[in-house]
Structure 1
Amino acid sequence: MGAIHDDIRAWLHRQADWIQEAADRLLKKGQLGRDDLADLYALIKTDAGRAVTKTRPFHELLNGVAAGSDVRLRSVSQVIGIENLSPAHPLVFGDGNLTVVYGNNGSGKSGYTRLLKKASGKPRAQLLYANVFEAAPAEQKCQIEYASQGAVKSSEWHAGGAPIDALIALDVFDSEEAGFYLRSESSASYTPPLVAMFVALAAACDDVKRLLEEDQDRDISALPVSPAEHVASEAVQSYNSLKATIDAKAMEALVRWSDEDAAQLHSLGERLNATDPAGLAQTKRNAELATRRIVEKILQAAAAYSTDALVAIRGLRQTANIARKAAIDAAQVNSAKLDGVGEDSWRAMWAAARAYSQLSYPNRDFPVTEEARCVLCHQPLDEEAAHRLQEFETFVQGEVEATAARAQKSYHDALKALPEPVPAEVYCAQLQTAGLTDPGWAAYLEAYWKAIAVARQALITHELTEAVQPAQDSEDACTKLTIFAKALEAEALQLDKDAKDFDRDLAKRQKTALEGKHWVCQQAEAVRNEVARLKRVQALEKLKALAHSRPVTTQAGVVAEQAITQAYVARFNAELKKLGAGRIQVELVKSKMEKGSAKHRLQLKSAKGKQPLELVLSEGERRIIALAAFLADVCEKPFPAPFVFDDPISSLDHDYEWAVATRLGELAKTRQVIVFTHRLSLYGAMEDIAKKIGEPVKGKNFFQTCIETYAGKAGQPVHQATWNANTTAANNLLIERLNAAARAGKEGGGDEYRDRAQGICSDFRKLLERTVEDDLIYAIVKRHRRSVTTDNKLAALPIIETGDCDLIDRLMTKYSYYEHSQSDEVPVPIPEEAELRADLEELKQWRKDFGERRKVVLA
C-alpha cells in the first residue's frame, strides 16, 4: 500500500491549498463538521486558499482504521403499530452466534426483518405500516435490546424516528437487497480509509459548492422590470441582457442621459404633436435668436470685464492720473494769488468761464482783457489781472495740459464703453422665448449680471473701496447655450422639412427608443448595483468550478481500483465458489465513479449483447448471485457486525440450500448470524452445520426458536415444543401438559380434559418420529437434512433389539389415530389420563434405558 500512499500525497500536493486543508482535516478527524466547512468556504475565497502548496506532510495517510464496536442483537419486544406484529413475549435471539427463527408464511418473519432494517437506518429500508385491518395506532414503536461493548442496552425506537446509532453496522439481506444487487449499481458497504477520505473529500467539495450556491441564491437581483412599451428599445434590450463582462465605458454610455438626448426627445415629441410645422419652425428660430442674444450679451460682458480688459482700464486710469499730476505740477502761474491752479475744480471753473465769455463777448477770443470785465467777478480788469488771465490761458492751451486732457478722456471713454448689466425683465423674457425653462438658467443669469453690475459700479468709482474681480468664467454656459441654439436651428430645419415630407413612423420609433433610454438612465444606480452583483455571481461561478468534485472523483477512481474494486471482485468470485455457483456465467465489474465512490454492477460474462440478468438466469440463480454479491460487499468490514437473513434460500434447490447453510455457519464463527426461514429443511441444515463446525457455533451458541400467528397477531414466539426441543425435554413437556389437562378435567369436566389431551396425543406422535431419528438410530439420518452423520455412531446401531422396535411400532400405531383423520364410523376415544401418562412414562423410561445401553457399547 506504500505506493498508493505516495501517489495520494503527490496528487494532494498538486491541488489548491483549500483542498489540501480539507484532506488534512479528514485524515486527522475522520469527518468534517459545520465549522470545518465554514473554514473551507472562507479559504476558497482567498488567494492563499486557491494557491498550490507542497508543505503538508499528510502523515495520517499511513494510519489504520479502528475496529468498530461488537454489537449483538438480543431481543425485540413491546411492538406496537408496526406491521401486524404484536408479540405477547419478546422475540429472543439467544446468546450465541447462530440463531434460526422458523415460522410459516405470514408468521411475521419479514415484519421483524423490515423492523430491524429500518431501525438500523439501511438506505433501502421500507416504510413501516400499521396493521391495515385495525384502527390506526397512536404511535408506532418497539423495544430493542442489544449488547454493545459488553454492556446490555435497551432502546425504545419509534418507526418514524432516527435509527439507533449502535445498530447502524447491522447488515440485512432480504428480497429488496437481492433485487438491488441484481439491478442496480452499488457502492461497497465498507470503504477503506484511503478511499473513504476521497469519498468524504468529494462530499466536502459538494458542500462548499452548495454554500457558494447559497451565496448566489441570496444575492438576488434588484433590477426593476422594464416596462413592456419599451422592450423593443435598444437601451432596454441592453438593460435586460446585462453581463458581468460589460466594461465601465459601455455601462456609463448605457446610463448617461445627456442634454442632447433630452433635447432630441423633446424635439421628436414636438414634431409628432405639431399641426403647423412651419409655424413651429419660426418659433424655434425665435428661440434660437433669443438664445444667441443671451450668449452675445454674456460674451460682451465677459470680454469687457475680463482680466485683460480690467488691466487695460486700470492702465488708462493710471495714465490719466499720471498726466494730470504732471499738468498740475506744470501749472505754476507766477501771478496766481491762490493755490490749486490746474486741479480738476479749477479746470472746470476755467472751462465754464470760457463758455460764459462767449455769451458776454461773442466773437472775441478768450480771455478778453481789453476794455473788459472779469467774467468771474465782473470787476474791471486792471493790467495785473489781465496779465494773469493771459497766463492762465497759456497754461490751459499748453502741451502738458493737453496730454492730461487726452489721457483723462481715454479713461472716461473706456468707462462709458463698459456694458451695462442686462435687466432681469429682459433676460427672463429672453429665457422664456428661448424655451430655457430650467430655473438654473435664470439663477445663473441673475448671479452673473449682479456680479457685472457690481464690477461696473466699482470701475466707474475708480475702485476706491475694493478691486474689481474679473467676470466669472462663462465658457461652459455659453457653449451649452450655443449648442442649444444650434439644436434649435437644426430643429427648425427639420420642421421645415417636416412641413414638406414627415416620416411619422420613423419619428415614433426614434421617440420610443429615446424614451426607453431615458427609462434605463433613470435606473442608473440599479444598473450599477446589478453589474456589481453579476460580477459577484461570476466570481462565485469560478469558485464553484474550483469546488467541483470531478477531479476528486477521478482520483478516487484510481485509488478505488486498487483498494476496493480488485478486492471486491475477488471476494465476489470467492463467494460464488463457496455458494456452489461458480459455474454461473456472471461477473462483478466497476461501472463508474460517483462523488468519489466506486459503483459496481453485476453482468453476464462473455454474453453476446447486453441482456438483463433477469431474462437469462433462473430465479434461483439470480438469488444465489445476489447473495454472493451481498456477502462480498459486507464481509469486508473490519468489525463483527451482525447479519440478518430473511429466507436467504428462497427459490434455491437442495444443493444451493446446503451451500448457503454452510456459508452462514462459517460466518457465525466470527459474528452473530440471525436467519429467518419458513423451510424446515434449512432449519435442520443449520442445526447439522452447527454440529459439524463445532465451537463456537454448536451447543449454547446455536439457538433455534419459532414464531407464529395467533388471532391475527403475527410474530408470536412459540414456547419449546416437541418438534424443536430435544426428545427428553419434549417428553417432559408432554407430561407437564398432561398434568395441566388432568387439572382442567377435574375442574371443568371431561370435555376440558379431552380438548387438551387431543393436542398431547398429536404431539406425542411427533415425538415418536423424533425418537426414531434422534434416539433409536442416533441421529445418523434425519428428515430435512442433507447429510448422513456417522461421527462414530454406527457402532451403536447393533444395540437395537426387537423389543425396542416393537415398543416404538406399538406406540406409533396407537397414536397415529390422533394425528390423522379417522372414520366417523370407528371413532377413536381419547385415552384416559392414566393410560396416556403410562405411555409417556414408558417412552421416557425406555429412552433412559436405551441411552445407558448405548453408552456401554460406545465406551
Structure 2
Amino acid sequence: MFQLFQRPTCPLLRDSSDQLIPKLPVPPHELSETNYVKNVYLSKKLDLSKFVWAGEDENRLSELDQKLKEADLKKAVVELREKKRKIGLLIKDIEDDLIKVSPQSKKEIDALASDLSTKEQAVLDAAKVLSNSSKLEGVGTESWKLLWSAAKEYSQKDAYLDDKKLYQHDRCVLCHQILDEETKTRLQNFDTFITNELSQIATDAKKRYNDRINSLPKDFTEDQIIDRCISAGLDRDWGKQIFNIWIQIYNNGEAIRLKRPLLNIYNDAQIALSALKEKSRRYEVTAAEYENDTKLFDRDAAAKQLLELKAQKWAFEQYEAIKIEQSRQMNVIRYDQWISQTNTRGITTKANEIGDLVITQSFVKRFNEELDKLGAGNIQVEFVKQINKGTTKHVLKIANATHNNPENILSEGEARIISLAAFLADVTGGNYANPFVFDDPISSLDQTYEEKTVKRLVELSKSRQVIVFTHRLSLLCQLNDACDNIKTLGIRRESWGTGEIGELPMSAKSPKNALKDILNNKLVRAKKVLNENGAEEYYLHAKMICSDFRILIERTVEYHLLGDVVQRYRRAVNTMGKVSSLAKINKHDCEMIDKFMTKYSFYEHSQPLEAPVELPLPDDISNDVNELLAWIEEFDKRKIID
C-alpha cells in the first residue's frame, strides 16, 4: 500500500518543528563580532552562494596578515631590498662560474695548456743542448733551476756583495774551488740559459695557465650554500637545489682541470637562475608595495578587513554544516506554513482536491498499461480513497494482494519495474514535450524486464527526447540494436572530477569508425610522440593502439565476418536475412583474421626476456589498419552480391 498523503495533527507538527534545532558550529570569539558572522553566517535565511573562498581571497588574507605583522614597513622595505641584493650576488656568482666552466672557457684553457706544453718543451730542448757540454745529468730541470737561482742569490747578497755574475768570480760559491776558464764559460752559458727570452716566455705561459686554472670555481660545502640562501630569505630546500647546481659547476671545473668532457648543466642552471630572478622580482614588487603602503596604510581598517576575511574563511570551512543548517531552516519554514494551515475542514478539502487531481482512475489505467508494456502485466494496481474525520488517505494497492506492504510480495526487480511504471504513468499523463532522463533504468532488472524497458524507451523517443545514463554495455548494445537514430557519448572520470566527455568503449563503437579513428588520430599522435620524444614515450601509445586494434579485430568478426548474427552482451541470435552472408566467408578471410589476431595478441601477453616481441612502428600499424578496412569494404560488398 502506497500512502501518498495524510494530514498530521497540529501538535505533531509543532513537536516535529521544535525538534529541528540549529547545530551550526560556534564561531571563534575573535570572529563573533564581525559583520560576516553576524549578517551572513548567522542569517535566518542562509545563502550558500555567499560562502566561497578562492585563491585571491587567500592571497589577500596573507598579504594583510604580513603587513600587520610588520611593525615598521620602512624597515621591512630595507630588509626586502637586502635580501634582493644577496640574491643578486648569488645569481652573479652562479653566472660568473657558469662562464668559467663553459665550453668556450674549456677551449681557451686547453689552448693555454697546449701553449705551455709547447714552450716548456722548447726550454727542455734548449737545456738538452746545454747539457751536452755539461759534466752531469739534469741540467735544465726544475730542481736544477732552483739550485742555480739560490746560488746566484747567495753570490749577490752574501758571498761577494757586488754586481758581478757568478762566472765572473774566481771561486765557485758552492764548492769554493778555483774557477778555470772552461768552468767560467760553462757557468756563463748556464746563466744565459736561465735569463734568456725562451725561459721567460715559458714562465709567462705557465703563469697564464695557472691563473686560469686557479680561477675555476671553488668547492663549497652544502652548509655554506644553505647559509647564503637563508640569509637571502630562501629556505633550506632552495639551498639544497642551489648547492646541487654548484656541485655540477664544480665538477665541470674539475673536468677542465683533468681534461675530461664537460657535462651539459646549462638547462638545470638556467631553471635555477630563472627561479632566483623571479624571487628577486617578487622581493622588489613587495618592497614597492610596502613603500606605497607606508603612505596609504590604515592599520585599523586593515585589521578589521583581516578579521572579516578570517571569518569568511572559517565559515567556508563549515560549508557542510551550513548546508545542513540551510536545509533545517527550509524545513522550519515548511512546518510553519503547514501549522498555519492545519484545520480539519481545510485539510480535508485540500486532500480531496489533490486526490482527485493527482490520483485518478485515468492514472491507474495508465499505470497498468505501463506495467503491461514493461513486461509486468501480471501485476495490476487499484485505487482506494479513504476519508475519516479530517484525515484523507489516497491509496494505490496491488490488486488482489493479501499483504498491505509491497515488500512482502514483490521481488527487487518487480519493485523496480513498478516504480518505473508509476513514473511513466505520471509524466505521460499531460500534454508535455519535456525530455526524459533515465539513470540506469535497468538496474536490478532481469533480462526480460530489461528488454521490455529498452523497447519502451525507444517507443518514448519517437515523441520526446530520451536521455539515458548507463554503465551497462548490454543496455547500450540493445539500444543501438533497437534504435536507428541514437547519439552516444562517453563520460569519464578525470583527476579533477567526473563528467568529462570522452570516447565510447570499443565495444560500443562501429569497427569501421573506430579503425578510422586509430588511423586518422591515434596513429598521428603516436607518430609525433615517436619523432619528438622517442621510443620510451611512444611505447605507451603503441601499446594502447595495439590493444584497441586487437579488440576491433574481434568486433570485426562479430559485425562483419559473422554478419551480426551473434554478439557479446546480447542474448538473442539474429538469423533473419543474416545467415546467408556466412556462406560468403572463404579461406583467405579466415587466414587474414587469424594473422591479425596472432600478431596483435603478442602485445597483450608477457614477453620472453630472451626474445621479446617489439611493438610495431606507426607505418606498420597503419598498413594493417588499412588492410583491415579494405577487407571490410570488400567483404561487405561481397555479401550484397548474390
Instruction: Calculate the TM-score normalised by the size of structure 2.
Output: 0.44
Higher-RCO chain (CA-CA 8 Å, sequence separation at least 6): 1
Q: Larger radius of gyration, structure 1 or 2?
A: 1
Instruction: Calculate the TM-score normalised by the size of structure 1.
Output: 0.34
